Amino acid sequence: MCRWAAYLGEAVFLEDIVTAPCHSLIAQSHCAQEAKSPTNGDGFGLAWYGDRPEPGLYRDILPAWSDPNLKSLCRQIKSGLFLAHVRASTGGATSRMNCHPFISGRWSFMHNGQIGGFEKIRRALENSLSDAAFDQREGATDSELFFLMITEEDLAGDPQGAVSRATSRVIDASRRGGFEPALKLTAAFSDGQSLYAVRYTSDGHAPTLYTSAFRNGGGRCVVSEPFDGDGSDWQAIPPSSFVTIGRDGMSIRPFVPAAAKLALAV
Amino acid sequence: MCRWAAYLGEAVFLEDIVTAPCHSLIAQSHCAQEAKSPTNGDGFGLAWYGDRPEPGLYRDILPAWSDPNLKSLCRQIKSGLFLAHVRASTGGATSRMNCHPFISGRWSFMHNGQIGGFEKIRRALENSLSDAAFDQREGATDSELFFLMITEEDLAGDPQGAVSRATSRVIDASRRGGFEPALKLTAAFSDGQSLYAVRYTSDGHAPTLYTSAFRNGGGRCVVSEPFDGDGSDWQAIPPSSFVTIGRDGMSIRPFVPAAAKLALAV
Amino acid sequence: MCRWAAYLGEAVFLEDIVTAPCHSLIAQSHCAQEAKSPTNGDGFGLAWYGDRPEPGLYRDILPAWSDPNLKSLCRQIKSGLFLAHVRASTGGATSRMNCHPFISGRWSFMHNGQIGGFEKIRRALENSLSDAAFDQREGATDSELFFLMITEEDLAGDPQGAVSRATSRVIDASRRGGFEPALKLTAAFSDGQSLYAVRYTSDGHAPTLYTSAFRNGGGRCVVSEPFDGDGSDWQAIPPSSFVTIGRDGMSIRPFVPAAAKLALAV
Amino acid sequence: MCRWAAYLGEAVFLEDIVTAPCHSLIAQSHCAQEAKSPTNGDGFGLAWYGDRPEPGLYRDILPAWSDPNLKSLCRQIKSGLFLAHVRASTGGATSRMNCHPFISGRWSFMHNGQIGGFEKIRRALENSLSDAAFDQREGATDSELFFLMITEEDLAGDPQGAVSRATSRVIDASRRGGFEPALKLTAAFSDGQSLYAVRYTSDGHAPTLYTSAFRNGGGRCVVSEPFDGDGSDWQAIPPSSFVTIGRDGMSIRPFVPAAAKLALAV
């Protein structure tokens, strides 16, 4: 499992969220409080939007707590929309290509959770990708693969639907693989305009997700766990939710996999 | 603080101590049980003796738990005398030159603890080095500096005395720097023939140190904390002890800094 | 393109071939003389056989010329059978998983050359792998994929035939992909007993390959380019050759892809 | 020796100078044309000024040509004042702390050249530092040490004089060390407002230095070697020159070490 934080609002220094708060994401890399494991030391990453439609990407394999580049970048860079992630591997090597966020064109994506039984269905899921999506695969994680799956499900036109349909593909592949689906999916992604997040599990406990306004400035954070104890007013996002944050506000809608939707519709 | 393990005996695979036991040094890099901090993820290192008088050295900055090279090297290399270390920085960057063990000629050295107030006396201690020792300084840690100090205190002729005199130099420098000495020194070192360890603190609690025979084979381990719960019969080394392990057995002697010794002798 | 060196014989220090000679493999990482590009700075690797049937593996992403671990390991480790490689990427990121040698069970493999047009046939070739071979894929290189292909072609029973059949699969995939095959294959591999090498190209110039006895000691080297100018008596291996080196001597046989073989047989 | 490029003007994407031109700094990391060695693969670094008085700093040990973070950062970050460097070590390990630029407060500095005989006078020069400057030393290079020396020579009040006096200290230390001074100093530095560069050698050939307006936009580059063949109109800076570039223009003045100055004044 991992920890992440995302922000949309007026431009702020990344350090205001990633490194400066008392329980910042970097602090969480060393001692997370609501994660299965307190240590998230298997690499980290940043995707931030600036003057281009595509995000900048900085990922490395050191623990976030010991990387001086990360501290300096967060201190220097201002952005009105960014994703930041610290990794605790559930499998897959510690390499830059396995660190989140992943990007494709103007999209960025990061994930806390896992596709349970991934080793049994990895090949089937990879084969389900279009050639264009397959060619973008650089690493070996379930998370990157899930991201590539949503990019080919009309992600731009229907972000929630794209996640819903990709979730359904994972559930179907698990069943065809002969085991009960065990997907844990607490993820955030963005196209450079809006910030989306999902909290879902096919079984058991969904990884935590919180949101809060940031400094009364109209900005908003979505995070794995709160990064301060006092200044903010954190709201827990319920399981099976899809969050959309835009310049004009936030909506939280129920989230179910596409197949379940279809089944309910019948 | 850090964790370390050392071995002298008939040649064994390094993995038998470093990676394979249930609470191996690699496990301790993730969740040490007797350290101030459970995480020792700021790099690691191995020094092992083979066919040459000088040890081989392998150090890197990833957490030990995520380095596939470390696993493979420990699985492949057999040695009858080696030192292994996982680092939790008390200051100083995460760089290879700051990872233990340190080597000089045929000597190797690793340390758990710290020179309290090091930033106030670092320059004085470095200036106390001979040119030959100063030129060997590669990193910025208190541990490497202490090692270089013992190398110029007749280390070959009187290992315990060398540590005792270097300890005294640190204590003196602290007092001249205007503060109470705060040295924590649980260290191991070797010349490729014998294995030495010291447990000492100038104040408060000395970091833990244990020893045990290894597999009834005549080999012996010295470690920060036991790496298994059952197969071995661990003996806690008392504070203010100096341990000498040779091919013919082990001795544990009282250890005091040289200045204190002189004072007692008067 | 890359540079590599392999050795079979009585145990020697790895440094005798990898780092010490005037034009050692490390020197070749900086200024190769017979390669398309003089710089081979995109990582390196060692696979060496010792007391286990499986090789040890050490790979890292720094240029070989600047890695102190590599120097120390080569100075300390003795082996009677090893493969060493310095990489110049023809595509694919600089990551440990993309560095040679690759290993699978007791087999190790390294490659100088490339599968021309790889991006067009990568997916088809990966899909041609068995599930067992596919699951071992860690990186993204053409070289690792070729290695996995030979492991499922009766590599143990018929090493030359395995390479021949895998070569044929690449040629076939290229033609089905609509382009002329452009495979450059100068590779070495071992099962821990014998050392095999192949020099082949489907078009144009095959990367160079040389062999020499080593120090009159019964040992033998196979290399991309000679590592000294005087002490050895290098023999250029002709294109379309398959080399087998065992404890009892060397054979050099003509090498053709399996399909061509079949065509000849008709 | 190394290669570097610096820019002052209206904000541009770093990639416009660092990665995009045909003979960009990244291209020079692989095949520099006017350097003693064509390969500058021992790490790299960026210092750029933005919304704070202090620069951001990004340094890493991979060759610049193979670091995807560098490419992405240069593509995303805009700055009106930045320094970029690719390193070819003349001694000293490949570590982040040994990569240029170095920073101190709002100052940044990078260097092509070396202090000849540095190993003989390193200790004397380090001991000549004030405690405040000494405490900022993180690495082991001659370049960082020279930078720390100028920071304590009234750098803010008299930039050229500071370099002149530090140069003199190096020359004096060399003579006291018993050898002819062999300083090669082609360096750039900035306080976030102006951009300074020096080209000097105490003997032989001074490393090259060029300047050019950038894109008719009022911006100006100072570089080790031109990064394009056509669009710009490069002017070679003569040896023994000190360059000052401000928002209002550029001046090139003769540069001599302080001691020589004094001697001339007498």
Give residue-wise pLDDT tens across range C105-157. 999 999 999 999 999 999 999 999 999 999 999 999 999 999 999 999 999 99
Q: Is A97 on the interface with C (CB under 8 A)?
A: yes
User: Mean of the per-residue pLDDT values for chain D?
Assistant: 93
Q: Is C55 on the interface with B (CB under 8 A)?
A: yes
Residue D12: closest CA among chain A residues belongs to which residue? A51
Chain D nearest C-alpha distance from A78 (Å): 8
Q: Is B96 on the interface with D (CB under 8 A)?
A: yes
Chain A nearest C-alpha distance from C266 (Å): 37
Q: Is C97 on the interface with A (CB under 8 A)?
A: yes
User: Which residues in chain A have Cβ-Cβ distances shorter than 8 Å to D73?
Assistant: 56, 58, 73
Q: Which of D134, D157, A73 is nearest to D147 (CA)?
A: D134
User: Which residues in chain B have Cβ-Cβ distances shorter than 8 Å to C57?
Assistant: 68-69, 72
pLDDT at B265: 41
Check CB contact under 8 Å for C58 and B72. yes
- The residues of B carrying an active-site annotation are 2
Q: Is C131 on the interface with A (CB under 8 A)?
A: yes
Check CB contact under 8 Å for C93 and A93. no
Q: What is the ipTM of this complex?
A: 0.93
pLDDT at B231: 59
Confidence category of residue A60, pLDDT binned at 50, 70, 90: very high
User: Which residues in chain B have Cβ-Cβ distances shorter than 8 Å to D119?
Assistant: 135
User: Mean of the per-residue pLDDT values for chain A?
Assistant: 93
Chain A nearest C-alpha distance from D76 (Å): 5
Which candidate from B95, B131, B140 shows the least CB-CB separation from D96? B95
Q: For residue C14, which amino acid is it?
A: L
pLDDT at D230: 62
DSSP result, chain D: --EEEEEEEEEEETHHHHTSSTT-HHHHHHH-SSSSSS---S-EEEEE--SSSSPEEEEESS-GGG-HHHHHHHHH-EEEEEEEEE---SSS-S-GGGSSPEEETTEEEEEEEEETTHHHHHHHHHHTS-HHHHTT--S--HHHHHHHHHHTS-TTT-HHHHHHHHHHHHHHHHHHTTS---EEEEEEEE-SS-EEEEEEESSSPPPP-EEEEETTTTEEEEESS-S-SSSS--EEPPSSEEEEEETTEEEEEE---HHHHHHHH-
Low-confidence winner among B147-151, C83-87, C227-231 (lowest mean pLDDT): C227-231
With a threshold of 0.90, does the pTM exceed it? yes
Task: Based on the residue annotation, tell me whether A221 is a catalytic residue of this protein.
Answer: no
Confidence category of residue D127, pLDDT binned at 50, 70, 90: very high
Q: Which of C80, C74, C56 is nearest to C193 (CA)?
A: C80
* DSSP code, position A207: P
Q: Span B150-156, mean pLDDT?
A: 97
Give the span between the Cα atoms of D200 and D150, in whole angstroms: 15
Q: Is D96 on the interface with B (CB under 8 A)?
A: yes
Residue range D196-207, pLDDT digits in tens: 999 999 988 999
State how beta strands D183-190 and D235-236 pair.
Answer: unpaired
pLDDT at C260: 54
Q: Is D96 on the interface with A (CB under 8 A)?
A: yes
Residue range C178-208, pLDDT digits in tens: 999 999 999 999 999 999 999 999 988 999 9
pLDDT at B110: 98
Confidence category of residue A57, pLDDT binned at 50, 70, 90: very high
Confidence category of residue B266, pLDDT binned at 50, 70, 90: very low
Which candidate from A30, A42, A67 shows the least CB-CB separation from B39? A30
Question: What CA–CA distances, in Å, run from D247 to C13, D220, D226?
Answer: 60, 10, 22
Check CB contact under 8 Å for C134 and A123. yes
Which candidate from B56, B72, B96 shows the least CB-CB separation from C56? B72
